[in-house]
Amino acid sequence: MGMEWSGEVEAVGSAVKNVVPGDRVMCTGTAGYAEYAVSDYGRTMKIPGNNMSYEQAATLPIALHTMHNALITVGKMQAGEAVLIQGASSGVGLVAMKIAEHMGSDLVIGTSTNAERRMKLSDHGADLALDSSDPGWVDAVLDATGGEGVDLIVDQISGSVANQNLAATKIQGRIVNVGRLGGGVAEFNFDLHALRRIQYTGVTFRTRSIEEIRAIVAGVERDLGDAIAEGVFNLPIDRTFPLDEAPAALDHMAANAHFGKIVLQA
């Protein structure tokens, strides 16, 4: 919580060259539930001069950093490939589909267990939307890919779909494990993993050095900077709350009835 925010730069350290006081920025770090927050210069991006609001800017950093790293750096996605985003109706998942679309994916598949949210995925880059709680979703993926499976899965669910992911990934495909909302521990079909020769990689920011995070942010600016400025990444904001109503905002999030992001305003 409180890991991403936006605002106006008040002051900078002597080593900072990329922003100056007065710049409008979006940042990541810790302790963002505040009127003032501190971010490393390498985790700070200027808000483009396209009339993007502070509220919209605050929704983007974590999703952009996480999913550019998962799709492009770790997942090695190439133009023309088929990509599946598990848990696509989350804010991070919506951005993942847009990144895949922007970087030239030939087929973008998104999953959501909520029918209403699933219907909205096409507005955010999905060519095909599936219910990951339906046992038939793997067959639907195989049908859509000529029986081969997708080249890359970015998985935010894990446990409950781990073995199905293996069956839905093509031979020598890749799976990048980002989240474990469906369980952190489960049986794993090692035979299927070996049979399909799948590269399975786990990622997290929790064990990254500040130098690694700076490189990730630089990659986002390099590959997606123009698209950010053009408004390609425009996440829906479900609700905004005043900062002093943060507990109510967290209750709203815990109810799991929102689509898109929940924003606190200082």
* CATH code assigned at 143: 3.40.50.720
Domain check: are 140 and 240 in the same one? no
User: Which among 154, 189, 148 has a CA at the least distance from the CA of 171?
Assistant: 148
Share of the chain above pLDDT 90, in %: 95
Could you say which of 169, 202, 235 is where a domain stops?
202
Domain check: are 113 and 194 in the same one? yes
Domain check: are 171 and 251 in the same one? no
* CATH code assigned at 237: 3.90.180.10
The pLDDT assigned to 62 comes to 96
Domain check: are 77 and 176 in the same one? yes
CA angle at residue 122 from 118 to 124, to 5 degrees?
105
Q: Domain count of the chain?
A: 2
Task: Classify residue 240 as exposed, middle or buried by CB count within 10 Å of its CB (0-12, 13-18, 19+).
Answer: middle
- Tokens encoding 223: 């590959």
Residue ranges with strand state E in 81-236: 82-86, 107-111, 128-130, 150-155, 169-177, 199-202
Low-confidence ranges of the chain (pLDDT < 70): none
Domain check: are 41 and 51 in the same one? yes
Q: How far apart are CA 55 and CA 224, in angstroms?
A: 20
Domain check: are 122 and 242 in the same one? no
The pLDDT assigned to 50 comes to 82
For tokens 């489960």, the residue is 186
The pLDDT assigned to 134 comes to 96
Domain coverage including residue 180: 63-202
Could you say which of 147, 180, 202 is where a domain stops?
202
Domain check: are 193 and 146 in the same one? yes
The pLDDT assigned to 256 comes to 85
pLDDT digits (tens, 9 = 90+) for 172-211: 999 999 999 889 999 999 999 999 999 999 999 999 999 9
Could you say which of 181, 202, 223 is where a domain stops?
202
